[in-house]
Amino acid sequence: MGLILEQNIQKEVTGSMENINLLIKGAFLFLVGQSLVFYQINGQFFWELAKKYPIMMSLLGVPISFVYIYATKYTVEAFDGSLWPQRLIGFAVGIVSFSFLTYYHLGEPITLKTGVTLLLAFIIVLIQIFY
């Protein structure tokens, strides 16, 4: 009896660590994808090359799509096949990366409204992970 209980506990710990690793991989890939899309779409406002060659920027869509495909794959696996958590985590990561990159490249400050939005994005991620 004790051995079976110990094996079950070990499976749960190993499974949860595996899920955490998948979640980290997925969230990281969402961050990469969201950041690449930011440059692809908004680069025209601060990068002359992006402004001059929109066709070149549009060609980035194919590799960016692969990033999103794998981000979705890992995050859905982390939540045992559930799609909603990955969508909300991708959204929250996008809000955070957009806020940072907009401030960095365009000097747009983090206003109270943006700060509240960032806080809500963080809360959404916490709900998806811990609830």
CB 44 within 8 A of CB 51: yes
CB 34 within 8 A of CB 97: yes
Please determine, for residue 24, whether its predicted confidence score (pLDDT) is greater than 80.
Answer: yes
34-75 tens-digit pLDDT: 999 999 999 999 999 999 999 999 999 999 999 999 999 999
Please determine, for residue 5, whether its predicted confidence score (pLDDT) is greater than 70.
Answer: no
Mean pLDDT (whole number) for 78-99? 92
Q: What is the pLDDT of residue 11?
A: 46
What DSSP character marks residue 83? S
The length of the chain is 131
Residue 95: name the closest of 54, 37, 43 by CA.
37
Q: What is the pLDDT of residue 10?
A: 45
**Would you list the domain boundaries of the chain?**
2-130
